[in-house]
Chain A
Amino acid sequence: MKRIADCSVNGCSVCPDERFSKTIMAQSQCNIENRLGPLLAMIPALAVGICFCLILAFLLNIEPGDMLAAIWIGAWGGANEAAATLNKMTPLLLTGLAVSVAYQAGLLNIGCEGQLTLGALTAAVFALGAAPLPWPLAMPLTVLAGALVGALWAFPAIWLRNSRGIHEVISTLLLNYVAIYLADFLVRGPLGDGTSMARTAEIPSAGIWPNWWNLGTFGVTAAPLAALLLSCILHLWRYQTYWGYEATACGNNPVAAKAAGIAVGRRQAWNFLLSGALAGVAGALEVVATHHRFYAAFSPGYGFDGITVAFLVNNVPGWTWLSSLLLASLRSADKWLQISLGISPNTIIVLQAVLLISVACQAGFRLPLSFGLGRLLERLQRHSNHREL
């Protein structure tokens, strides 16, 4: 596998995914350097992000320290801010997991936004309808309903890919808009609460996730914990089970995986459905833990942010908490930037874009920390082998 990739480097046919997949393959070997790979991949991007902040501060005539301090205070400055950041982390973590599970099997799911929207709507409607059920039954079922609809909305994309050969990026992109307009129609019409606010009725208090930590005014629900638990399970699943291993193999080299007897199409399909389900869970948790009802266009682009979350840590589920925490901190700091420094909250979006671009470019950059070191070691090893020969 490695040799094949090396050979095609000098043509122009090498696909960037192959380089990503090489790092993923390296991670499955058990040594500490490779285990920390995602972290090492994130550091250069973070460095670029901080440099960007400093340059921006210089251009805007702000004390550089002030800008970084404002981001920190906005996200973690007090109990209320910390609670808001932790609650924002849940959907980001789950959509990040959704993207990384699909990418593990070599698929890019950019339809998280639509899956999340419909998952949230379903959860809200289900929670309203399931009010008579006792809460130990209603709560998991609500989330499951969201997951099911998320997976259902991912199904056409993977079916089109497997039977018609249509790239999943195109179909999920189209399905996104269909989902958003569908939800908009439903919530203004048959499923709305009768007002012109484009929202469903508030779900009964029995269906709402209670706070487990009374941090600040609003507190933190159990949703971030549930998301963390899911990320741990997915990490174990990916590295410790046959299914996870086979799915990773499909992503790294589908031809080789097929030759090894893995049902590539089916593995990819299941991973993609799982990805859709995770995005649906993100929407459902957002409803039962944060908003307590469904609003039209309630997601500020969580689905697309999932891509940043997943790529920042090289699509490793076990590290996704870190990148989602980072993005949640940035997202909840945006208003504070406006209040304290008078600069637009959009600065945060630019910063996020810079992070994503720098992490996407790494495959070509081969920054010394994450790639160069490994290659250097490899070359030294090859060199010493030559001497022995």
Chain B
Amino acid sequence: MNILQLLTLTLGKTTPVLLACMGGLLSELSGVINFALEGMMLTGAFFAVWLTYSSGSPWIGLLGAAAGGTLIGILHSLVCLRFRANQIVSSIALNLLAAGASGMLLNQVFQVYGTSPTVEKLPALNQLGIGRLPFLGEILASGAGELSILVPLSILFNLALIAFLKWSVWGLRLKACGENPLAAKAAGLSVNRIRFLAISTGGALAGVGGAYLAIGELSTFVEQMTQGRGYLAIAALILGRWRPFGILPATLFFGLSGAFSEWLAVRWTGLPYQLFLALPYAVCLGVLLFQMDKKQPPSALGRV
């Protein structure tokens, strides 16, 4: 495996975490703790496969994934904002709900346990007809062409998110709700409505992250297929210190770490591959421990 292949693998591992992390960022910047990313991704993955299966088009599946993530987001905001439940407990309950409901629906819709039938994938990069371009073509020919179209899309999404949070009025309003909801309210904003929108949009992003797993990388839904990537996204959010620009390097590092562990498992079976699986979490703890970055989380995070 050469360096380009490692890079390809890294990008593939980064994408779902980056998408979920952006979802978490939107929600947490608006002041609501969102640990339900895992559930949003899982729901998104299931809806992606379901709708692709029933409609035949992976693009409709992608839309469905966004809708599925939004559904969990709406539930989360309902439970947290309307009923004022503990946000962490609500998130954990929603993760359970998504894990159970996706397994249950898998049985109801496809009459199978464990793994759904295969569906059509989203197009890969080398199917787009840009392979003839001079420089890009060489890269695509070397294996990067297998990557899903969601990989560049997720980076574009991230750039759009940075612009949105930095330069748009709505981005500023969203951050105001997270930093000082009372001041935001006094300025005439409807705090709960903004938070609701932020959580739902975040849910859609995390759902697309799930869709990447289901119809971008694989072409099937497997029970519990997110395998803690939602929690990894939260770790990336912490490592990126709640900065829209910080989460990109954080998720890239996590992706590299994951790719490296996969590489090790193949190459040197003597070395513990678990080390690189645990590395993202250990690095996160280290950053918290040594307080390498003074940036604090949104000050009203977790308070309704």
A350-B181 contact, Cβ under 8 Å, with A181-B278, A356-B93? no
Bound complex: CA of A343 vs CA of B274, how far in Å? Answer: 36
A350 / chain B contacts, CB cutoff of 8 Å: 96-97, 100-101, 104
B104 near A182 (CB under 8 angstroms)? no
Interface size of B by CB at 8 A reads: 51
Check: B156 CB closer than 8 A to any chain A CB: no
Binds B, one of A26-34, A166-174, A217-225: A166-174
B84 / chain A contacts, CB cutoff of 8 Å: 14, 16, 19, 363-364
**Min CB–CB distance B260 → chain A (angstroms):** 14
Bound complex: CA of A298 vs CA of B223, how far in Å? Answer: 18
Q: Which of B79, B94, B182, B288 contacts A361 (CB 8 A)?
A: B79
Chain A residue at minimal CB-CB distance from B103:
A346
Check: A378 CB closer than 8 A to any chain B CB: no
**Min CB–CB distance A146 → chain B (angstroms):** 21
Q: Is the interface of B mostly helix, strand, loop or mixed?
A: helix
Most chain B CB within a 10 A radius of its CB, from A108, A177, A348 = A177
Q: Which of B82, B103, B228, B304 contacts A344 (CB 8 A)?
A: B103
Q: Which of B92, B275, B285 contacts A174 (CB 8 A)?
A: B285
Check: A226 CB closer than 8 A to any chain B CB: no
B278 / chain A contacts, CB cutoff of 8 Å: 177-178, 181-182
Interface residues of A in 77-100 (CB under 8 A from B): none
Check: B231 CB closer than 8 A to any chain A CB: yes
A174-B107 contact, Cβ under 8 Å, with A169-B88, A357-B79, A364-B84? no
Q: Which of A178, A308, A343, A354 contacts B107 (CB 8 A)?
A: A343
Check: B167 CB closer than 8 A to any chain A CB: no
A110 / chain B contacts, CB cutoff of 8 Å: 88, 92
Check: A304 CB closer than 8 A to any chain B CB: yes
Check: B170 CB closer than 8 A to any chain A CB: no
A356 near B285 (CB under 8 angstroms)? no
**Min CB–CB distance B86 → chain A (angstroms):** 5
A185 near B93 (CB under 8 angstroms)? no
Bound complex: CA of A173 vs CA of B288, how far in Å? Answer: 13
Check: A307 CB closer than 8 A to any chain B CB: yes
The proximity string for B residues 173-189 relative to A, scoring 1 for CB distances below 8 Å and 0 otherwise, is 00000000110010000
A308 / chain B contacts, CB cutoff of 8 Å: 93, 96
B191 / chain A contacts, CB cutoff of 8 Å: 12
Q: Which of B100, B231, B235, B302 contacts A353 (CB 8 A)?
A: B100
**Min CB–CB distance A172 → chain B (angstroms):** 11
**Min CB–CB distance A111 → chain B (angstroms):** 12
A348 near B100 (CB under 8 angstroms)? yes
Bound complex: CA of A178 vs CA of B101, how far in Å? Answer: 28
**Min CB–CB distance B31 → chain A (angstroms):** 10
The proximity string for A residues 364-383 relative to B, scoring 1 for CB distances below 8 Å and 0 otherwise, is 11000000000000000000
Most chain B CB within a 10 A radius of its CB, from A12, A160, A363 = A12
Bound complex: CA of A156 vs CA of B101, how far in Å? Answer: 35
Check: B19 CB closer than 8 A to any chain A CB: no
Interface size of A by CB at 8 A reads: 54
A345 / chain B contacts, CB cutoff of 8 Å: 103
A15 near B303 (CB under 8 angstroms)? yes
A178 near B96 (CB under 8 angstroms)? no
Interface residues of B in 73-93 (CB under 8 A from A): 79, 82-86, 88-90, 92-93
A311 near B181 (CB under 8 angstroms)? no
A11 near B182 (CB under 8 angstroms)? yes
**Min CB–CB distance B228 → chain A (angstroms):** 7
Interface residues of B in 181-207 (CB under 8 A from A): 181-182, 185, 191-192
A365-B83 contact, Cβ under 8 Å, with A110-B88, A164-B291, A174-B285? yes
Chain A to chain B contacts (Cβ below 8 Å), 30 pairs: A12-B185, A14-B304, A17-B86, A110-B92, A169-B88, A170-B288, A173-B234, A181-B274, A182-B274, A185-B272, A188-B274, A307-B89, A308-B93, A308-B96, A344-B103, A346-B100, A346-B104, A349-B99, A352-B100, A353-B96, A353-B100, A356-B92, A357-B94, A360-B85, A361-B79, A361-B83, A363-B84, A363-B85, A364-B83, A364-B84
Task: Give 10 closest A-B pairs by Cβ, nearest first.
Answer: A349-B100, A346-B103, A364-B83, A353-B97, A350-B100, A181-B278, A360-B85, A344-B107, A353-B96, A361-B83
Binding site for A on B (CB under 8 A): 35, 79, 82-86, 88-90, 92-94, 96-97, 99-104, 106-108, 113, 181-182, 185, 191-192, 223, 228, 231, 234-235, 238, 272, 274-275, 277-278, 281-282, 284-285, 288-289, 291, 302-304
